[in-house]
């Protein structure tokens, strides 16, 4: 399958007077295919103006299950990656999300979201020390996750495509849920108060934490919270070495925590 811009470029070369044989040599496209495009111009702009992916047509972008994709996007930005599956020349990619065995329900949610997007592909689970890798193979994964690139996520810009932003705006709760399930937690915050009589009293209240090194990913998380009208605050923790230079977003106001509990809740 060739994308529309490849077809248009090839036919433009033929229109300029270059033979099909020479265009075939330059582009690697079969001569019979070039002749078919040249004679039937309707094939040149096939799929243009639709929501089909120009790389892997006719697979739609975004996927039809946008709710599942919004959740999976949050998981991917936190604990996911793409790697070649098998022979790199075949162009098959593996979407991998690492899930802690502490929360078996999260493993099933992750696998279910992958299966919902590509129901005719197998979703596998590979156990490791303390965690389980959930993965699925597909040529189309880089199109659905264009944030893929060399190196670590916090070392490069993480920006959403317009169609991804539309999905997040449609399903901000699922996106936030995926981010919390990957790099977040719901904890009890304990505060020590000294009473006027010299005694000590402890107060506990729930709060949500989201921790990520990438300022871009933190920004996407807080934008989604703003869209949901959920109060938050961000700071850089410097006390513990393992959190140093990581950006921590906390949601601690009572009404904000209740709002988060309605669609996120604790991991299980």
The per-residue b/e assignment along 174-200, b for 16 or more CB within 10 angstroms, e otherwise, is: bbbbbbbbbbbebeeeeeeeeeeeeee
Decide: 213 and 158 in contact? Cβ < 8 Å. no
Nearest of 112, 139, 129, 149 to residue 57 by alpha carbon: 139
Task: Count other C-beta atoms under 10 Å from residue 135's C-beta.
Answer: 23
Task: Establish if 58 belongs to a structural domain.
Answer: no
52 within a domain of the structure (yes/no): no
Share of the chain residues as helix, strand and coil, in percent rounded to the nearest 5: 45, 25, 35
Residues 174 and 81 in one domain: yes
pLDDT in tens, 6-25: 677 777 788 878 888 888 88
Query: Does residue 127 sit in the same domain as residue 36?
Result: no
Given phi > 0 = left and psi -120 to 50 = alpha, else beta, which region is 48?
A: beta
Q: Report the SS3 class of residue 173.
A: helix
Closest CA to 209 of 244, 241, 172, 180: 180
Residue 57 lies in a domain: no
Q: Give domain status of residue 60, yes or no.
A: no
The pLDDT of residue 45 is 53
- Domains identified in the chain, total number: 2
- Judged by phi (left if over 0) then psi (alpha if -120 to 50, else beta), residue 130 lies in left
Q: Write down the pLDDT at residue 154.
A: 84
pLDDT (tens digit, 9 = 90+) per residue, 167-176?
999 999 999 9
**Would you give the DSSP letter of residue 138?**
E
Say whether both 30 and 138 belong to one domain.
no
Record the tokens describing residue 162, joined without a space: 């317009």
Cα distance from N-terminal residue to C-terminal residue, the chain: 43
Residue 139 placed within a domain: yes
Q: Domain containing 216: what range?
A: 66-263
Task: Tell me if 71 sits within 8 A of 102, measured CB to CB.
Answer: no
Tell me the average confidence (pLDDT) per consecutive run of 10 residues in the chain, 268 residues long.
Answer: 64 82 84 79 50 61 87 96 84 92 93 92 92 93 88 86 91 97 90 79 88 92 96 74 69 95 84
Are 79 and 151 within one domain?
yes
Residue 30 and residue 90 share a domain: no
Q: Examine the domain organization and report whether 11 and 112 are in the same domain.
A: no
83 and 35 inside one domain:
no
183 plus 86 within the same structural domain: yes
Cross-strand bridge partners of residue 98: 133
The pTM for the full model equals 0.76
Are 33 and 145 in a shared domain?
no
* Shared-domain flag, residues 122 and 9: no
What CATH number is given to the structural domain containing 118? 3.10.28.10
Residues 28 and 147 in one domain: no
Judge whether 53 lies within some domain: no
In a domain, 160, yes or no: yes
Residues 85 and 23 in one domain: no
In Å, how far from its chain's centre is CA 209?
Answer: 19
């Amino acid at each position: 399958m060739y994308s529309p811009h490849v077809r248009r470029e090839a036919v433009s070369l033929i229109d300029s007077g270059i033979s099909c044989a020479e265009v075939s040599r330059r582009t690697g496209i079969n001569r019979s295919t070039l002749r078919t495009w040249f004679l039937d111009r309707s094939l040149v702009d096939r799929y243009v103006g639709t929501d089909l992916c120009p790389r892997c047509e006719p697979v739609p972008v975004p996927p039809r299950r946008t709710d599942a994709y919004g959740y999976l996007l949050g998981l991917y930005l936190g604990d996911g990656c793409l790697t070649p599956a098998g022979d790199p020349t075949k162009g098959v990619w593996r979407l991998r999300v690492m899930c802690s065995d502490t929360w078996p329900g999260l493993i099933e949610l992750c696998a279910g979201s992958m299966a919902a997007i590509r129901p005719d592909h197998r979703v596998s689970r590979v156990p490791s020390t303390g965690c389980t890798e959930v993965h699925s193979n597909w040529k189309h994964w880089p199109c659905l996750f264009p944030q893929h690139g060399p190196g670590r996520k916090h070392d490069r810009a993480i920006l959403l495509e317009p169609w991804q932003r539309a999905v997040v705006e449609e399903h901000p709760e699922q996106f936030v849920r995926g981010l919390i399930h990957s790099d977040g937690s719901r904890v009890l915050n304990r505060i020590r108060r000294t009473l006027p009589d010299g005694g000590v009293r402890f107060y506990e209240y729930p709060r949500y934490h989201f921790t990520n090194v990438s300022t871009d990913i933190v920004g996407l998380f807080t934008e989604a919270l703003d869209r949901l009208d959920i109060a938050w605050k961000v700071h850089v923790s410097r006390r513990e070495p393992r959190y140093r230079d990581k950006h921590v977003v906390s949601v601690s106001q009572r009404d904000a925590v209740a709002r988060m509990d309605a669609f996120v809740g604790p991991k299980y």
